[in-house]
Amino acid sequence: MLMSQDRPLGDPLITPENQAFFESTAQGKLLLRHCKACGKNHYFPRNICPLCGSDDTEWLEAGKGGTATGEIYSYSVLRKGVEIPYCLAYVNLPEGVSMMTNIVDCDLDSVRIGQKVQVCFKPSAKGTMIPMFKPVA
């Protein structure tokens, strides 16, 4: 059994483009970006849709007012060459986006592909809340 431990997280660079995203994570909300031109959502949120190039995009809260959930698509537990082992994963959300993230607050040996997970937030060194995922209880 290898329990996940909190580890030091780098501070994201806050820009005008991502400021609303990190203001929302501070309130426990995960924002995606919806493109009104192609109808698709993307992550990490950008003003210009990476799928079609349109700038007709708007914020979309994942989980629609509840807790954002997803499913582990792939993962890797990093043990060697890191001070604190952690799980790097791709999580697919029902909103149609895939997030590169960490799986936390669990036994890292129990992580499985297809596992249901829910968003949680961990502070960076300066206190910016970073979205991560933990198994659904």
User: Contacts from 14-17 at CB under 8 Å and sequence distance 24+?
Assistant: 14/128, 17/45, 17/46, 17/47
Nearest residue (CB) to Zn ion, 56 versus 107: 56
Nearest to 102 by CA among 75, 71, 136, 70: 75
Q: Which residues are at the interface with Zn ion (CB under 5 A)?
A: 35, 37-38, 49, 51-52, 54
Nearer to Zn ion, 41 or 115 (CB): 41
Report DSSP state, residue 109.
Answer: G
Min separation Cβ 85 and Zn ion, Å: 38
Which is closer to Zn ion, CB of 29 or CB of 34?
34
Q: Smallest distance, Å, CB 42 to Zn ion?
A: 8
**Min separation Cβ 47 and Zn ion, Å:** 11
Q: Are 30 and 132 in contact (CB under 8 A)?
A: no
CB of 35 to Zn ion, least distance (A): 3
Cβ distance to Zn ion smaller for residue 36 or 116: 36
The answer to whether the beta carbons of residues 25 and 108 sit under 8 Å apart is no
